[in-house]
Each structure stands twice: as C-alpha cells, then as structure tokens.
Amino acid sequence: MTNGLNIAIVGAGIGGLSAALALSARGTNVTVFEGAESPREAGAGLSIPPNAVALLKRTSLCDDFEKITTRSLGLTLRTSRGKPVPRPPADLALLSFQVHRVELLEMLLGVLNGPVRFGHRCIAVDETETGARLSFANGMACDADVVIGADGIHSIVKREIGLTARPTSEGIVAYRGLVPAVKLSWASELRGLNMWMGDGRSFICFPVSEGRLINVVAFVPSTRDMEETWFAPGDVKALASEYEGWDAPVRDLIAALDHTFRWGIYDRPPLPYWSKGCVTLLGDAAHPMVPHFGQGAGQAIEDGFALAVLLEHARRDEISARLQAYQNLRMGRTSGVQTASRLAGRFYRSAAGNPSEQAERMREWMSAAAWIFPYDVEEAAAALLEPDRPPRQLLA
Ligand SMILES: Cc1cc2nc3c(=O)[nH]c(=O)nc-3n(C[C@H](O)[C@H](O)[C@H](O)COP(=O)(O)OP(=O)(O)OC[C@H]3O[C@@H](n4cnc5c(N)ncnc54)[C@H](O)[C@@H]3O)c2cc1C
C-alpha cells in the first residue's frame, strides 16, 4: 500500500538509489531521473561504513549485499618506507565493507520496484500549486509532490532552491584505479584497508570484487587547479614519479595500473539550509565532503533512510514540515562528519613524528570521531515523530 505521495529523485548515484530503495520499502511511489543515458560508472572501489551497512542490511538487499562486499579485516598503516604504524585499539574500520561501485549500483537497480528513467537531465525545478515540476534537457517534464535532489556535487536542484557553495581546493589530487589481482604475486594475501603515509602524500589499497581487483587511491599534493570530476583520465607515469622510493607494494601497484582517473579534491562549507517547500537535497548535493574518512556514501545512505521514515505517513500538508525536520536531523551530524573527514586527510598526509607518535595522534582523532559509527538514523528519525518511543538496539 502506498501513502499516495509521488516522489521524484534527481540522480541515480548511490545516494539517489538508496533513497529510492528505502522510500519504496515504506510504501512511497518513487521515480528516479538520471541524467546519464545509461548506468555509466568509472570503475572504483568504495568503503561503506558500519552506520550505513546496518541500514542496507535491513532491506531486500541484505543477502546479496554480503555477496558483493568484502568485510574489512582492519586498517593496516605504514610509513612511506613500509614501517608499520601501530594500529589504534578501537579499530572501527573493522566494521566497514568494501565494494566495487558498479556492483553496488547494479544491485540497487536490480532490487528497485520503482522506475529509473535514464537520459533525463534535470535543468529546472519550479514550484507549482500542489508541489513542484521538474523539467529535463530532453524536453520532458514531470510533476511531483516531493523532489529530492540527489544529483551530486554539481547539483542543479541545489541551484534551483537558491543555494551555491564555493569550493576550495585542498591542494591535492587523487589518482584512482583498479588492478587485477592476478597481476601481483602477493595480492591474495592482501586484507582490509591498507594505507601508507608520509611526505604530504598517502596511498590506499583494498580488495574488491571478491579479491579479483584491488582498488587503489593515491593522494598527492598539487598546485594546479584540477577538474572536480570522477572521470578525468590521469597519467600513470606521473603517478609513479610521485611515489619513487616508497614501499615496494605501492610501487608494484602503480606499475600494474593500465590507466588511472584523476580527481581534484575540493572542500565546501556546510550549506545554510537543504529544504525549501517540497524540495530537498541529499548526499553530495547537500553535504559534499572530502573523501578521507570514507563516509561520502555512508552519509548519503543515511539521508535516504531518514527521509523514508519521515515521509512514510506524511500527508501532503505536512511535507514542508517533514523536510524541515529532515534537514534539522541531518545537518549537524553531516557537518560534523565533514569536519572529521577534513582532519583525517590532514593526518594521513602529515609525515611528522615517528610511527608511535603517529599512532598516538591517530588514536586521538579516531576516538574524537568514534561517535559517527554507532548511529541508527532510522531510529533517530522515528524518535522525531514519536519522542516517547523507547530506543531500540542500534546497529545490527
Ligand atoms: C566514480 C565515482 C568515484 C567515487 N569515488 C569515491 C571514493 O573513492 N571515495 C569516496 O569517499 N567517495 C567517492 N565517490 C563519492 C561517493 O560515491 C559519494 O560521496 C556518495 O556515493 C554519495 O553520492 P551521491 O549519490 O550523493 O552523488 P553521486 O554519486 O555523484 O551521484 C549523483 C548522480 O546524479 C546524476 N546527476 C547529476 N546531475 C544531474 C541532473 N541535472 N539530472 C539528473 N541526474 C543528474 C549523476 O549522473 C549521478 O548519477 C565517488 C563518486 C563517483 C561518482
């Protein structure tokens, strides 16, 4: 049974599709409009943190999710020369899952009940007497009771509700790529998240696709303005020159890359609001964050599940108030995560101190960010609607 609301989601990324999954599971009519002509993705691995894993596992995705993800077996830290940095005792990375983005998106598309319309690039959102009208570059239009902008860092929906955010370069560029595990004799021994740090750089790798591929992300300093896109090609030779003299596995992984993507890392301050009338934002459109804490997808997933709880039994005349409640619930938490992500990046790129001093600094900032993980957004959203509700056990 549906609640009669028609919800339009702009953007079929991880944020938009998880929101569609959560909303349709609670009986809401959802249509997703995606600008790309077909599911287009640059191959990349992604880490899904425990606060989001628990939500996805409550859906019809549950069993399949286990099949395409690799549970992290911890974070292994090393200096650029390969010296182990002692791991903090509370290893929260143990609870995250690594996944290939394409496999997760395909799985989300496969379980969705509602339609996903590709080739619908939204160009305008206009208020109507009963809701909002979306206009698309292909000449089509669609009316909806609620519009959710899940259209990423360069969001059009954000612009249409009067918001802009000035990006500031972090002065670094990330190279990303996937290495077939068969290319490296030691790949089968690789477990969990592995990171090397020093000289203003960091290098991360972890297995995805049941260990068949190794995801690589390399952060290097740059004074040049880089395009803020996931799809710009990078130069493997230039990448190799950044890591000369580093630990052998780092150099092996770079040498095994056929190609790489280059991604300029930009930071943005929190937005003053996310919701206006019957239009709201989620994911990177609402709270883009630097990627160093692996929470970009996690926070987008939380947004969608919060909206699903708040809109499940909403009447038309309650929509605006529910979207304000959503904004109030989410803005504080996501701006805290934006800050934690910024600090994580500074720590990884710093070379200061010996391994045990680095471990101590890591322990400090990890304890300061520990509040992010044991959080149940469905519970928090339900408590807004029923403040007297007894709390339930958090995270599965
Ligand atoms: C290829 C890629 C690699 C990434 N790698 C990492 C990583 O290594 N680490 C990390 O922390 N984060 C990474 N991210 C970011 C992370 O995935 C996001 O923070 C998170 O998934 C939330 O994304 P989102 O759904 O809000 O936005 P996105 O994943 O950007 O999805 C937005 C969707 O909206 C569509 N869209 C945009 N404009 C319009 C429009 N006008 N009309 C209709 N549709 C539109 C886009 O085509 C896209 O499908 C990556 C993102 C991408 C796309």
- Enter the pTM of the model: 0.92
| Cβ atoms of 34 and 12 closer than 8 Å | yes
**What's the CA-to-centroid distance between 240 and ligand 1, angstroms?**
27
On whether the CB atoms of residues 53 and 60 are closer than 8 A, the answer is: no
How confident is the model at residue 169, as a pLDDT? 86
Q: How many Å lie between the centroid of ligand 1 and the Cα of residue 14? A: 7
Weakest mean pLDDT among 90-94, 105-109, 344-348, 387-391: 90-94
- The confidence band for 396, taking pLDDT boundaries of 50, 70 and 90, is very low
- Sheet with 45-48: strands ordered across: 45-48, 97-100, 69-71
Interval 262-285: pLDDT, tens: 888 889 999 999 999 999 999 999
Pocket perturbation via mutation, ligand 1, pick of 14, 48, 289, 348 by most ligand atoms within 8 A of CB: 14
What does the longest C-alpha to C-alpha distance in the chain come to?
64
Give the pLDDT band of residue 68 (cuts 50, 70, 90): confident
Q: Which two tokens stand for residue 178?
A: 């996937």
Is pLDDT of 395 > 60? no
How far, in Å, from the CA of 332 to the mean position of ligand 1?
22
Query: Which segments of 41-172 does DSSP mark as H helices, in order?
Result: 50-56, 62-68, 101-111, 156-160
Stretch 179-207: mean pLDDT: 90
Q: Which helix (H) or strand (E) holds 193?
A: strand 193-198
314 Cβ below 6 A of ligand 1: no
